[in-house]
Amino acid sequence: MSAITARRVTRSRRLSASGARRLTRTGFVSAGERSVLTRTPRSVISSDAKPGRTSSSTSRRGHGHACMRSLRTCCRFVGTMDESTYPHGPLSGKTVALCVTGSIAAYKAVELARLVVKAGGKVLPVMTASATRFVGPLTLAGITGESVATDMWDPTVAGEVHVRLAERADLVAIVPATADVLARLAQGRADDLVTALALCARGPVLAAPAMHPRMWEHPATQRNVAELAAQHRVSLVGPVAGEVASGDVGLGRMAEPEAVYAAIVTALSKRDLAGLRIVVTAGPTLEDIDPVRFLGNRSTGKMGFAIAERAAARGADVTLVAGPVTLPTPHGVRRTDVRGAVSMRQVLWQAMGLDLSRADALVMAAAVADHRPAEPSASKIKKSDERITIDLVKNPDLLAEVGAARAGKRPVLVGFAVETEGGEGLVAYAKRKLTQKKVDLVVANEASESFGREDNRATLVAASDVRPLPTMTKLSLADMVLDRVRELLQTK
């Protein structure tokens, strides 16, 4: 059983300009193209013939080499951007005071600290005396690189410990928060470092409750929760329903670290995309040959998911149309999974509306397969001859269809161009796609610098300018793309 990748297909042949073709292991011959979208606006149908893709394999370069090259490229093109002028993660420059209280769920705070650090944030760990019975302060100190504050009366700290911490922290996260700490927060008490810090905080305070379901349901706890809601000062993340430490099941389990992390990012992100509806596609499309084989490509979906994640954190209403990938749905994102290009097309038009009025922007990060088997076999194809021939028909170009159908200035359209060529060749391909597909922005990158990686090096190509960017995390690049989308929306 084998998955034949589109890469292998394209490597074997250059495509003729005659529309759909037949692929054999040794060559292409012409075949008719088929249209599959039943409710497509007339102007949408396009059969643009594309030049062949050259696909010499490129080796992955070392990270240091890529950074140096990106710096050089940037200086050459724009002269102003260097490695210090772009954010390294969604929490870059942000400081989170992570207050751990005494619950078995304290171990989840360690994972949360790791996530915040990975996102570029600084963590100031604070622990109550009882929290130190569950998690060793050394663990938190090791992960955060900061000493753990446990004592209001630490004589080695100049000034008041809780005030010093409050001045440094952009956000205070109490994770996990016990029933006792919720009660003390509701009363405004300041009888330990955690509650004193929460009372003194300059920015948002988040708490992730964790307790036995009977404690959560207790009228006293519910009264405290209602009091905190009325004060608008402490936001709760969770609890969620599930199994708690005792083995009982109910509402009281602490939210997972990823959910608390997402709430932190959202609370600290600018909400500059609020009110905008953004549709994002991500991942590959898989085109079935038979029930067990398919044509696919190497896209992992990470870039599209990063865009959806950051757009949602910045306040946009986000619809994500995802090809088959194994990534979790970003917080606050509406997601529909699809398999092939034809089903992606259908879901995309549903999300955008046939008159495109349901979206302010489309970011087409999916690696849509250019071709699909003309007639997938209903049963597994048996190994018979030395050579087999698979008829391929051209898939619709989803982005070009939307570009052709757009009558007004909205939605803003963003395409991706993943090429095996860099430099001016890459920009030239991107410019061609910009015009041919009638889009506003093309994010151009080399396959070796993007597929499957956590980081990416891209050039943003618009009609008005070309902006090469240094290597950065996909989340940072997502922010750059969204900044550009926002600019384009403002000029439209």
Q: Residue 174: left (phi > 0), alpha (psi -120 to 50), or beta?
A: beta
Beta bridge partners of 401: none
Out of 89, 340, 411, 415, the residue judged to bind ligand CTP by CB under 6 A: 415
CB 22, CB 11: distance < 8 Å:
no
Out of 105, 119, 186, 398, the residue judged to bind ligand CTP by CB under 6 A: 398
Could you confirm whether 297 is annotated as catalytic?
yes
Number of residues that bind ligand CTP (CB under 6 A): 16
Out of 144, 395, 420, 471, the residue judged to bind ligand CTP by CB under 6 A: 395
**Is residue 433 close enough to count as binding ligand CTP by CB under 6 A?**
yes
CB 367, CB 418: distance < 8 Å:
yes
Q: Smallest distance, Å, CB 465 to ligand CTP?
A: 19
CA distance 135 to 105: 10
CB 312, CB 331: distance < 8 Å:
yes
CA distance 300 to 419: 16
Q: Smallest distance, Å, CB 399 to ligand CTP?
A: 3
Instruction: Name the residue nearer to ligand CTP (CB basis): 256 or 288.
Output: 288
Other beta carbons within 10 Å of 231: 11
Structure tokens at 93: 């420059």
* DSSP run (H or E) holding 99: strand 95-100
**Is residue 399 close enough to count as binding ligand CTP by CB under 6 A?**
yes
Cα torsion 41, 43, 47, 49: sign: negative
Contacts of 172 (CB under 8 A, 6+ apart): 96, 97, 99, 166, 197, 198, 201, 203, 204, 205, 206
CB 304, CB 363: distance < 8 Å:
yes
Contacts of 478 (CB under 8 A, 6+ apart): 303, 306, 307, 309, 310, 311
- Using CB under 6 A, which of the segments 98-106, 165-173, 324-332, 416-424 binds ligand CTP? 416-424
**Is residue 370 close enough to count as binding ligand CTP by CB under 6 A?**
yes
**Is residue 86 close enough to count as binding ligand CTP by CB under 6 A?**
no
**Is residue 460 close enough to count as binding ligand CTP by CB under 6 A?**
no
Instruction: Name the residue nearer to ligand CTP (CB basis): 206 or 439.
Output: 439
**Is residue 368 close enough to count as binding ligand CTP by CB under 6 A?**
yes
**Is residue 418 close enough to count as binding ligand CTP by CB under 6 A?**
yes
Out of 105, 161, 303, 341, the residue judged to bind ligand CTP by CB under 6 A: 341
Distance, first Cα to last Cα, the chain: 50
Strands 317-322 and 333-337: parallel
Per-residue binder mask for ligand CTP (CB under 6 A), 51-80, x = binder: --x---------------------------
Phi, psi of 15 (to 5 degrees): -90, 140
Which is catalytic among the residues 297, 395, 445, 456?
297
**Is residue 278 close enough to count as binding ligand CTP by CB under 6 A?**
no
Instruction: Name the residue nearer to ligand CTP (CB basis): 225 or 469.
Output: 469
Out of 8, 11, 22, 50, the residue judged to bind ligand CTP by CB under 6 A: 50
Q: Smallest distance, Å, CB 16 to ligand CTP?
A: 12
**Is residue 462 close enough to count as binding ligand CTP by CB under 6 A?**
no
Q: How many Cα atoms within 13 Å fall on the side-chain side of residue 59?
A: 3
Q: Smallest distance, Å, CB 417 to ligand CTP?
A: 4
Strands 287-290 and 293-296: antiparallel
**Is residue 416 close enough to count as binding ligand CTP by CB under 6 A?**
yes
- Using CB under 6 A, which of the segments 301-309, 378-386, 409-417, 446-454 binds ligand CTP? 409-417
Out of 317, 397, 440, 479, the residue judged to bind ligand CTP by CB under 6 A: 397
- Residue numbers annotated as active site: 297
Q: Which residues bind ligand CTP (CB under 6 A)?
A: 50, 53, 341, 364, 366, 368, 370, 395, 397-399, 415-418, 433
